[in-house]
Amino acid sequence: MGGVPLYFGHGNRSKEICDFNALDSKDVEEKYIFCDFNSQISVFQQLDEMYRTGAAGAIFSSDSGQFLRPCDFDMPFVTVIPKVGDLVKEYLIKTKNPTVSIEFVIILLGTKPAPQVADFHPEGLV
């Protein structure tokens, strides 16, 4: 899927961080949203805002992406560390009509730094 419009609520901090009920469905319909890092709002809360608004997908700037489970990935989204999120935010602010392309990527073993894998707990095991 390529060239999908990317929404960022620049100038309104509640929209920038995808706070509860901050985004308007009309603004994000058929778009990916970018949710900036905020230590007071979890990626799970931002996910809820993505689902509530009906956005097509999301990029979350988060330091807790590693805690997501495979069952959390039923929509197209990615979490990036805040340092990378700052680069995405810079792109969004400087670009008139920002877009994002989502592509399947094969992970190469032995790369440095090693990729992170989402937390996984098989159902039924405690």
Looking up residue 82, the CATH number of its domain turns out to be: 3.50.30.30
105 assigned to some structural domain: no
What does DSSP assign to residue 65?
G
Mean pLDDT, range 81-89, rounded to an integer: 94
Per-residue pLDDT band for 126 (boundaries 50, 70, 90) equals very low
Domain count, the chain: 1
118 assigned to some structural domain: no
Residue 51: which domain range? Answer: 4-100
Average pLDDT score, the chain: 83
pTM score of the predicted model: 0.77
Those residues with Cβ within 8 angstroms of residue 108's Cβ, 6 or more apart along the chain or in another chain: none
Instruction: Please give the C-alpha separations between residue 83 and each of 69, 72, 80, 87, in angstroms, as whole numbers.
Output: 22, 23, 8, 7
Q: pLDDT digit string (tens) for 29-73?
A: 999 999 999 989 888 899 889 999 999 988 989 887 776 666 666
